[in-house]
Amino acid sequence: MDFEFGSADGEFRGEVRDWLTRHLVGPYGELGGVGGPGSEHEGFPVRREWERELGAGGWIGLGWDRAHGSYGNRSATLTQQVVWAEEYARARAPGRVGHIGENLLAPTLIAYGDEAQRERFLPAIARGEELWCQGYSEPDAGSDLAGVRTAAVRDGGAYRVSGQKIWTSLAREADWCFVLARTDAGERRHRGLSFLLVPMDQPGRIEVRPIRQMSGTSEFNEVFFDGAVARGEHVVGGEGAGWRVAMGLLAWERGVSTLAQQIGFAAELAEVVGEAVARGAVRDPVLREQLLTQWAELKVMRWNALRTLGASGDAGAPSVAKLLWGGWHRRLGELAMRVRGAAAASGPGDWSARAPYELDALQRLFLFSRADTLYGGSDEIQRNILAERVLGLPRGERR
């Protein structure tokens, strides 16, 4: 698309900067940049309050009202949404705890939900009051989303959900979970799936277990459903439409949020470059070329994001975006450790103690980014999608 900022966007940018300057004070300002990948557990109570502060200012769900009326948010053009995302990242505001509801579920409800579902859930998301998690991945299914075994059985006017989900971000704090489950036991693969909205506050029916990672943190969780109740009116798109809705949701993972993500990437790259300069590593021609390559690839990612922003019908765009940023971020973590050399193997604290070991920001970057090419659909899955849906190659055998 033809993407450029106009004078109205400049005025909007000034409004955004002014609001962030006035509100990023006290405990909010002290959490600058906290809450990104590898540190999603940090400062959570304050960040949840910050979510409500954003909601009160009308900054959650910019642009929703363009298609379906107002749900408590403010009107914004696509370029203004980009301005907000860029300024938020540049201000090093706290990592968002409501991004799953705002950036994944909300667009899905607007596209596939009915008006009752939108009226029930969108205002609460826009106010920063209800948090969501995503119930997609399962053990033994890998990145094969069609291989889900979690079952949802009709029980009067509701469903009883039983099964296990894994790698579920924010599951311990979320109020709701959107769950892909099999509602027709006689169907296989993509058929017979439904997209259910399940309340997490169901003691004895939902259990959440943190997954401790090699970084020492527990951003992800296992979620066990044992007859958890989902109301019949909370099936998005109708029974059996789960695959279509789930695929639509995954497409929302590209877009405005990727531009803000890239600003965070740029800050991390600047830190790695600063480390290289301080240690004299830039005198190594190989490392210097690798740093330059990271910079150039980040520019390409931005241009690609702008090229596809607001576009529809491009089956390969989400997969290309995921391949670009996942591989780039993982290589940045590896490069950070090469810049450090042998010093990368020592921590800021004493690692001989049995207590959880302390890591600095670049060490967390390296460890956490090992997962970037796996979560959200592995690189292998993305390449299969491009091969089949873009190049028209024969589909691989599925079991």
DSSP code for 61: S
Specify the pLDDT at position 68.
47
Residue 124, C-beta contacts closer than 8 angstroms, at least 6 positions apart: 130
State the average pLDDT for the chain: 86
- For the residues 238-245, what does the mean pLDDT come to? 91
pLDDT at 146 over 70: yes
C-alpha 110: how far from chain center: 18
Q: Which residues are known to be catalytic?
A: 253
Specify the pLDDT at position 263.
80
d(CA 93, CA 20): 8
Give the residue with greater pLDDT, 257 vs 154.
154
Mapped onto helix, strand or coil, the DSSP state of residue 261 is helix
- For the residues 5-21, what does the mean pLDDT come to? 92
Least confident of 239-253, 265-279, 303-317: 303-317
pLDDT at 95 over 90: no
Specify the pLDDT at position 316.
80
How many residues are given for the chain? Answer: 399
R_g (Cα) of the chain, nearest Å: 22
d(CA 27, CA 94): 10
Nearest to 386 by CA among 333, 322, 341: 322
Would you say the C-alpha torsion 35, 204, 202, 101 has a positive or negative sign? Answer: positive
pLDDT at 189 over 70: yes
- For the residues 47-71, what does the mean pLDDT come to? 82
Which residues pair with residue 210 across a beta bridge? 221
21-48 pLDDT, tens digit per residue, is 999 999 998 877 665 665 666 778 999 9
pLDDT at 314 over 80: no
Specify the pLDDT at position 220.
86
Give the residue with greater pLDDT, 79 vs 287.
287
CA 333 vs CA 61, 215, 362: distances in Å: 32, 13, 7
Hey, what are 113's tokens? 């939900």
- For the residues 350-379, what does the mean pLDDT come to? 79
For residues 238 and 257, the answer to whether their CB atoms sit within 8 Å is: no
Residue 391, C-beta contacts closer than 8 angstroms, at least 6 positions apart: none
pLDDT band at 53 (very low <50, low <70, confident <90, very high): very high
Give the residue with greater pLDDT, 346 vs 87.
87
pLDDT band at 122 (very low <50, low <70, confident <90, very high): very high
Give the residue with greater pLDDT, 322 vs 260.
322
- For the residues 238-250, what does the mean pLDDT come to? 87
Specify the pLDDT at position 18.
97
pLDDT band at 90 (very low <50, low <70, confident <90, very high): confident
149-182 pLDDT, tens digit per residue, is 999 999 999 999 999 999 898 899 999 999 999 9
d(CA 213, CA 196): 29
